[in-house]
Structure 1
Amino acid sequence: MSNVNQSRRRLFSRRKSNVIRPPWSKQDIEFTDICTRCDRCIEACETKIMIKGDGGFPEVNFTIDECTFCQKCVEVCPEPLFRDTSEQAWQLKANINDTCLAQQGIWCQSCKDACDPRAISFIPAIGKAPQPQIDTDICNGCGACVAPCPSNSITLFDRKKL
């Protein structure tokens, strides 16, 4: 395939993004097609986790704080960007990588302490620090566990995009 054809394919193909959009928002491609980048959702966010991302579109940044599912972003948006709020906000689930302090033998449970739904538990282990375990059936994707993690070991992923 020629370089020209590869460039055209990249230009016209739409990639799935790893960006986290506001809760209850429609699929990423539909979202960016409709969003006018008015910033009302960013201004309305009670925990200020929404930021102006790539292209000026709103993104969620859980390193700032958590989502309280207050629905203010949905209420202030003048465009049809959001699904029904009686549905689940999103399919985000927490994931702990191997840089976790507990996995390095250091006693830390800051993520567990921050998790209101109690989706994070720690399994006792003989001779080492208790190890974290996430119950993805309980995790609501609020992101409360991300900011308090001292080693930035927790990320949220969208189960629909796997």
Structure 2
Amino acid sequence: MTRAQLLRGGWGSSKKSIIRPPWSKNEVLFIDLCSRCGACIETCPENIIILGSGKFPVVDFQKGECNFCHQCAEVCQYHAFDVKQQPWHIKIDIKDNCLSKIGVVCQSCSDVCQQNVINFSLQMGGVPSIDLNTDVCTGCGACVEVCPKNSISMKV
């Protein structure tokens, strides 16, 4: 936990995990380097980077997916990003209220997943079961916005 999280009351267990823009340096260093100028927010072509707590940029996958264009990292004058590392270490998480998990045929997440992370196996006389291959998940978040039950999130 960072000092800022402690001072803002970020110790609660209900706290949602914060997802910074891709290629952000580790949280402590990012908070130290980021000037909160908003350049990364303004330059994001997908408009998924928004103001978060403390006016630091966060990613909101309810607005769309990341296409890994590098623009947020390139526009930063404060060196809060490192494009030599992986964009991030986030993966898909599907909750139990997923339509497919409760017996309703829905494959909207699989339809938009270009990495084939989400697949469905046919079941004899039933709803196809969901299969995840998180090893190939890039964390783009394309599946989050299309889920009709908001069952999909990205986890750090």
Secondary structure at the residue paired with 2:62? coil
The question of whether the paired residues in 2 share the 8 Å contact of 1:146 and 1:154 is answered with yes
Take 2:16 and 2:33, find their aligned partners in 1: how far apart are those partners?
Answer: 16
Aligned length: 148
Moved more, 117-126 or 31-40: 117-126
Deviation at 1:130, TM superposition (A): 0.9
Gaps of at least 5 residues in structure 1 are 1-9
- Assess if the C-alpha contact under 8 Å between 1:14 and 1:29 holds in 2: no
4+ residue stretches of structure 1 with deviation over 3 A? 13-17
Whether 1:141 aligns to 2:132 is: no
| 1:59 paired residue number | 58
TM-aligned CA deviation for residue 80 of structure 1: 1.2
Q: In the alignment, is the contact (CA less than 8 A) between 1:35 and 1:81 conserved in 2?
A: yes
Larger radius of gyration: 1
Between the aligned partners of 2:53 and 2:46, the Cα distance in structure 1 is 20
Following TM superposition, by how much is the alpha carbon of 1:116 offset from its aligned partner in structure 2, in angstroms?
Answer: 0.8
Aligned letter for 2:87? A
Q: TM-score, normalising length from structure 1?
A: 0.85
Equivalent runs, 1:100-139 vs 2, <5 Å: 100-139=98-137
Distance 1:86 1:39 in 2: 22
RMSD, aligned CA: 2.0
Query: 2:37 aligns to what?
Result: 38
Q: One-letter code of the match for 2:132?
A: I
Percent identical residues: 46
Query: Is the partner of 1:55 in helix, strand or coil?
Result: helix
User: Equivalent of 1:91, from 82, 89, 94?
Assistant: 89
The C-alpha deviation readout for 1:11-47, integer Å capped at 9, x for no partner, is 5x98697110000101112111211100000000010
Deviation at 1:82, TM superposition (A): 0.9
| Residues 96-126 of structure 1: per-residue CA shift (max 9 Å, x gap) | 1101001111100000001011111012223
